[in-house]
Amino acid sequence: MMSEPAESGRLDQLLRTVDFFKPVATRRGFMQKLMLVGGGAAAGAAGLGRVIGVFADAATDFVNAAVGAERIGIAFYGNALGAGSPYSMPGDAATRTLLNSSHRSYFQAAFNQESSHLTTLLGAGGSFPFAHFGFPAGTFGSPDSMLAMGMQLESIFIGAYLGAVKAAAGSGNAFVAEAAAQICGIECEHRVLINDIAGISPPNDRFYEGDVGSPSNDLGNTGMRSTVYATARDAVNALLALHITPAA
């Protein structure tokens, strides 16, 4: 989070050069802009980690990293459905049915939602240099391994968007903060749906995300809190720890 007034002013000036971040008088205007935005090297994991070092500032870092995260999310849901995606690596998609018809509907909806998030982030000026992502061998070989990956991914996505809310709010950028909060809410839904498919009871298993309170034995509060990432680099490193491989 930037604390110096000069840095805050610099962030505001930079973001206002992107049409998406220009002042909007009302919430309705902001939502209209969200609806209207459009979005449009091969390297190893070490290269992905270095990308974050060249980003501009905390709020913009999170927007850019989120482009990569959403592509990973799209690849995950597409692979789980057996269809792949524009961001999947060849051979990664499931070759057998991992979900029943009802749960396939959950995942198709999640695929569509992640795709919409990506469009919004690209329209906001976000960019990420890697477009394809490979998953560890066996990720889509069984329902259990696939769901385990999904749980980890969604927890990282939630923590990254919470970090984006904090960074953007701290620098006075309401547009990034609000967009991140709205997307974060949907990522929480995805985690609950994955928990439900995995048989976790209850699937909505925490009172709060982040560091507000702690898990307990109370019904609805047994789940571990998501880590709120202080920087986009931290969120990317968490994804790298899952052995996801980026490529151009």
Give me the pLDDT at residue 189, please: 98
- Whether 18 is covered by a domain: the verdict is no
Give me the pLDDT at residue 212, please: 85
- Whether 38 is covered by a domain: the verdict is no
Over residues 31-59, mean pLDDT: 46
Domain count, the chain: 1
Q: Grade residue 230 by pLDDT with cuts at 50, 70 and 90.
A: very high
pTM of the full structure: 0.80
CATH number for position 118: 1.20.1260
Give me the pLDDT at residue 56, please: 60
- Whether 116 is covered by a domain: the verdict is yes
- Whether 33 is covered by a domain: the verdict is no
Give me the pLDDT at residue 210, please: 85
- Whether 228 is covered by a domain: the verdict is yes
- Whether 186 is covered by a domain: the verdict is yes
> What region, left, alpha or beta, does residue 59 occupy, with left being phi > 0 and alpha being psi -120 to 50 degrees?
alpha
Neighbours of 120 (CB within 10 A): 24
Whether the per-residue pLDDT at 222 is higher than 80: the answer is yes
Whether the per-residue pLDDT at 17 is higher than 90: the answer is no
Q: pLDDT tens-digit profile of 140-191?
A: 999 999 999 999 999 999 999 999 999 999 999 999 999 999 999 999 999 9
- Whether 40 is covered by a domain: the verdict is no
Q: What is the mean pLDDT of the chain?
A: 83
- Whether 6 is covered by a domain: the verdict is no
Q: Which residues of 222-232 are buried (b: 16+ CB within 10 A; e: fewer)?
A: ebebbbbbebb
> 214 or 30, which is more confident?
214
Give me the pLDDT at residue 13, please: 34
**Domain range for 200:** 57-212+220-247
* Cα–Cα distance, 187 to 181 (Å, whole number): 10
Q: pLDDT tens-digit profile of 60-93?
A: 999 999 999 999 999 999 999 999 999 999 999 9
Q: pLDDT tens-digit profile of 80-135?
A: 999 999 999 999 999 999 999 999 999 999 999 999 999 999 999 999 999 999 99
Whether the per-residue pLDDT at 55 is higher than 80: the answer is no
Q: Kindly write down the DSSP assignment for every residue of the chain, as one continuous string.
A: ---SHHHHHHHHHHHTTSGGGS--SSHHHHHHHHHH--------HHHHHHHGGG--SHHHHHHHHHHHHHHHHHHHHHHHHTS--TTBPTT-S-SS--S-HHHHHHHHHHHHHHHHHHHHHHHTT---S--EEE--TTTTSSHHHHHHHHHHHHHHHHHHHHHHHHHHHHTT-HHHHHHHHHHHHHHHHHHHHHHHHHT-SSSS--S-STTSS---SSTT--SPPPP--SSHHHHHHHHHTTT-EEE-
**Percentage, residues of the chain above pLDDT 70:** 77
Over residues 52-64, mean pLDDT: 76
